[in-house]
Amino acid sequence: MKTLSVVLATFNEEKNLASCIESFKDIADEIIIVDGASTDKTVEIAKKYGAKVKITTNKENFHINKQMAIDIATSDWVLQMDADEQVSPELAQEIKSILNHQPSTINHQQINGYWMPRKNWFLGRFLMKGGQYPDYTIRLYRNGKGKLPQKDVHEQAVIDGKVGYLKSALLHYPYKNFSHYLKKWNFYNNFYSHQIKEEQKTKNFLQKTFYGFMYLLVRPAHWFFTTYFRHKGFMDGWQGFLFSFVSALRFPVSYIKYVGTYKFLAAVIIIIASILRLWNFPLRWGLGGDDSRDAIIALESIKRLELPLTGSFSSAGPFVFGPIFYWFIMLSYLALPFFIGAPWVMMEITSIITVVLLMYLGKILIDEKFSIIMGILAAFSPQLVVRSLSLGQHTFVATFSALSIICFLLLWKKKNHIYSFLMGLSVGVALSMHYQSINLLVFFLALFFITSLSVKDKVKALFFSLTGFFIASLPIIYWDSQQGFANTLNILDYFLIGVGRIYVPNSWKLYLFQDFPAYWSFVVGRLPVLGLVLFFTSSVFFLFYAFKKKVSAQLLVLGFIFLLFVFINRFYRAERSEGYLIYLLPFILIFSSFVLYKIWNLNIRLSKAFVVLSMALIILFSVTYILIVINYPSPRFGYEKVINNLTKKFPNTKFSLYDYTYKFYGQSMGLSLIMSFRGISDVNGKKIGFSCIEEDGCSKERLPAVNKEVFLLVDLGSVKSQDFEKDKKIWINVNQPTVYDDLVGWLNKYQLKSTFSLQKYLIEKINLNK
């Protein structure tokens, strides 16, 4: 009769080991156990059964310790076991018969090992379907003929020679309960993640991307459908479903562990942000009046090889913004010259980049968890999604406001003056985009509150930041110098006097309980009551933790800057629409995230569940609103239809487009842009004009219609020539060159005028105070 060595590798198996040994002790001549320095009674139990015990370290791949036990075995045959397994009476009898009889053969070759079926116990039953039975495993082999590769936690022994099959099953009891199952599941996932890391070392970017796609989507789906449906896992009841589902999740979870949870969640947030902004994009990018006007100016600038030094006029007064927004549109068309919607594509990309910047801001301000919360709020922010659809400079204000904060924080942390320069540059670009950003100038004063800088370094930081600001402002400063600084004087007139001419209902009660929370909700959640709750809870949380000295110095400074902005806006007497407050967006996201972050970290039961529920509600209300925006029908198709009608009615004809008293600005600019892009626009072409329907009586004489679909276009061939004169403002040409000349042709000196005198204003103020 041949002898049998049973070998095991153990670590803290006091609850399983005795029943395991009891199941095979009658057939074992030798028990070898290599223990990974157990801290329980495992070794004591093993010695009680007369096992030979070798103590070593507990290795992540326990097959290394198993192989050590195999190498120690001295019997003719080796039975490899795990402590959570048991030899069934039928299997014990079958093994005994192999030891008692002459060796079997296959094709006259000696059998050196045996596959044996294994039954896996899972939450109250053996799984007999779903590919879990017979679950063959090689555990019995001649000594010296079997070896473990020691590379994988689920690997099989490699047998030198032929391998036969046993009929009786090994019984496997791996999990005491579901919690224990998840603990082991997580252990194996850690091991798999290391395997993935090794596999990815030699792969290029495309291969890694494909691999990630397979692990995140294809392999889990394939596993679930294979085990649950093809292999009839559903016949094992709810246990079968749970096993198929959770075991399928090992693929994405192990891949996420390989990538890193933060990187994975950040990638998911960016993907979601991209979907929300790009979904249905071809059907929804807009062509409003201002959007089209700015695109027209950019296209004409490229055509003339001219670089505008000003932006568009402000709606608040006779002053213009900086030219950087026009430059952005020009670069968009240079990058995608074949696509009329190129600037809108770039706006979507800018919005996505803004989400990335806000996540990075959260990471350097607090930590990765805070970054994820902030990223989720930014991805679903109704204002960011809505603004990404319109070609307007307001979106860039949010982007460069975030960049200003990032550079401020990086300067604080790294003390490198490149960040002070970039901060000034960011503030300058934001101000060039829109003058609401003037409040961001407070960051220059905030430099003196950076505790990590010496006084000398603070002065240097101010110098470099002002240099960056000056470079960003140089084009508009140069142009304004040619206008006698009329632009600057008109801006001063507006802020010092003009806002006083405008009546806006205002009070602390109205501001704190209605106006500001309403804007807050447009940034986060869209529900006004939610904005009110977040506004006040963030204020309370910030002040509480600041008083307790449990916020960083950086967050403390940002908090007081934000409070200053809130205070300033209370006394700003002009319009406070969402577009004029967007520079506050990064601050609102910071302090909304701060509330959720602090609640998450509370050592209170259900605090995390509360945060998850709160964020789910924020996402729900945001998406409900965003879906309306996603399904916005672009007027572009109406314009295309009109142009097709015109070209069909007047083939090989170019048109000169007019707008009756600028009454149809919102439509005429869009139509003019498409006509210019399609090459059918010419200031000397056939004169056609936007007009009202007949009962509105736009013109004194009835003009023949050239188009009645979508809107009315009339033939202006019979209109008197004096009615086209600019000073009469009756029929106004909106062709591309004319729009450019009317809005950008300000390079001649003193074309912009100002009646404001700063000296006179100061004298009047001094006299009034006397």
- Residue 306: φ, ψ to 5°: -115, 145
Between CA 306 and CA 745 the distance in angstroms is: 11
Q: Is 761 exposed, middle or buried (0-12, 13-18, 19+ CB in 10 A)?
A: middle
The tokens for 1 are 């009769």
Dist. CA 518–CA 563, nearest whole Å: 17
Phi-psi region at 710: left, alpha or beta (left = phi > 0; alpha = psi -120 to 50): left
Residue 710 predicted with pLDDT over 80: no
pLDDT of residue 102: 60
pLDDT digits (tens, 9 = 90+) for 167-176: 999 999 998 8
Alpha carbons 626 and 520: distance in angstroms, whole number: 16
pLDDT of residue 202: 86
Is 548's pLDDT higher than 60? Answer: yes
pLDDT at 503: 64
Query: Among positive and negative, which fits the CA dihedral 696, 702, 708, 711?
Result: negative
pLDDT at 728: 67
Q: How far is CA 621 from the centre of its chain?
A: 18
CA distance 493 to 612: 49
- By CB atoms closer than 10 A (0-12, 13-18, 19+), residue 151 is exposed
Q: Residue 362: exposed, middle, or buried by beta-carbon count in 10 A (0-12, 13-18, 19+)? A: buried
Q: How confident is the model at residue 673 (pLDDT cuts 50, 70, 90)?
A: very high
How far from chain centre, in Å, is Cα 85?
46
Of 103-112, 436-445, 495-504, the range with the lowest mean pLDDT is: 103-112
Whether the predicted pLDDT of 129 surpasses 80: yes
Domain spans of the chain, in order of start: 4-172, 178-259, 636-734
d(CA 136, CA 203): 33
SS3 544: helix
- Global pTM? 0.79
Helix axes 585-600, 607-630, angle to 10 degrees: 150
Instruction: Report the CATH number of the 4-172 domain.
Output: 3.90.550.10
pLDDT band at residue 770 under the 50/70/90 scheme: low
Per the CB < 8 A criterion, the answer to whether 671 and 642 are in contact is: yes
Q: Is the pLDDT of residue 766 over 90?
A: no
Name the residue among 97, 137, 98 with its Cα closest to residue 117. Answer: 137
Mean pLDDT of 475-501: 86
Which neighbouring-strand residues pair with 690?
659, 713
- Alpha carbon 47 to chain centroid, angstroms: 57
| pLDDT value for 695 | 42
Angstrom distance (rounded) from CA 512 to CA 518? 10
- Alpha carbon 369 to chain centroid, angstroms: 14
Average pLDDT, the chain: 89
Residue 702 pLDDT class (50, 70, 90 cuts): low
Size of the chain in residues: 770
Q: Read off the pLDDT of each residue in 35-53 and give the average, rounded to a whole number.
A: 94
DSSP letters along 593-638, please?
Answer: HHHHHHHHTSSSTTHHHHHHHHHHHHHHHHHHHHHHHHT---THHH
- Upper half-sphere CA count for residue 7 (Cβ side, 13 Å): 30
- Which residues is 707 bridged to in the sheet? 713
pLDDT of residue 696: 45
On the question of pLDDT at 749 being above 60, the answer is: no
Q: State the average pLDDT over residues 392-419.
A: 95
Q: What is the pLDDT of residue 537?
A: 94
* Region of poorest pLDDT, from 280-294, 415-429, 548-562: 280-294
**Looking up tokens 């039961």, which residue turns up?**
605
State how far the Cα of 265 lies from the Cα of 695, in Å rounded to an integer. Answer: 59
Least confident range from 39-43, 277-281, 707-711, 714-718: namely: 707-711
pLDDT of residue 108: 46
pLDDT tens across 133-188, in order?
A: 999 999 999 999 999 998 876 788 999 999 999 999 999 999 888 888 888 888 88
Q: Could you give phi then psi for residue 364, rounded to 5 degrees?
A: -75, -20
Mean pLDDT of all residues in 644-652: 90
Find the mean pLDDT for residues 200-209.
86
pLDDT at 105 over 60: no
For range 715-737, the mean pLDDT: 79
How far is the C-alpha of 661 from the C-alpha of 650, rounded, in Å?
25
Cβ of 34: how many Cβ atoms within 10 Å?
24
Give the count of beta carbons closer than 10 Å to the beta carbon of residue 613. Answer: 11
Q: 345 or 576: which carries more pLDDT confidence?
A: 345
Using a pLDDT cut of 70, give the percent of the chain over it: 94
pLDDT at residue 746 in the model: 62
Flag the least confident range among 15-29, 265-279, 696-710.
696-710
pLDDT band, residue 675 (cuts 50/70/90): very high
Q: Work out the average pLDDT over 679-683.
A: 92
Q: Which of 345, 423, 374 is nearest to 523 (CA)?
A: 374
Distance, CA of 167 to CA of 174 (rounded, Å): 21
Among the ranges given (394-398, 521-525, 596-600, 603-607), the one the predictor scored with the smallest mean pLDDT: 603-607
For the segment 611-622, the average pLDDT, to the nearest whole number, is 94
pLDDT at 694: 53
* Beta strand 125-127 pairing with 118-122: antiparallel
Instruction: DSSP for 134-203, please give it.
Output: S--EEEEEETTTEE---S-TT---EESSEEEE-SSPEEE---SSHHHHHHHHHHHHHHHHHHHHHHHTT-
In the chain, the amino acid numbered 295 is: A
What is the secondary structure of 744-764 as a DSSP string?
H---STT-S-----HHHHHHH
CB atoms inside a 10 Å sphere around CB 435 = 21
Q: Which residue has the tokens 């807009």?
A: 286
The letter for the amino acid at 64 is: I
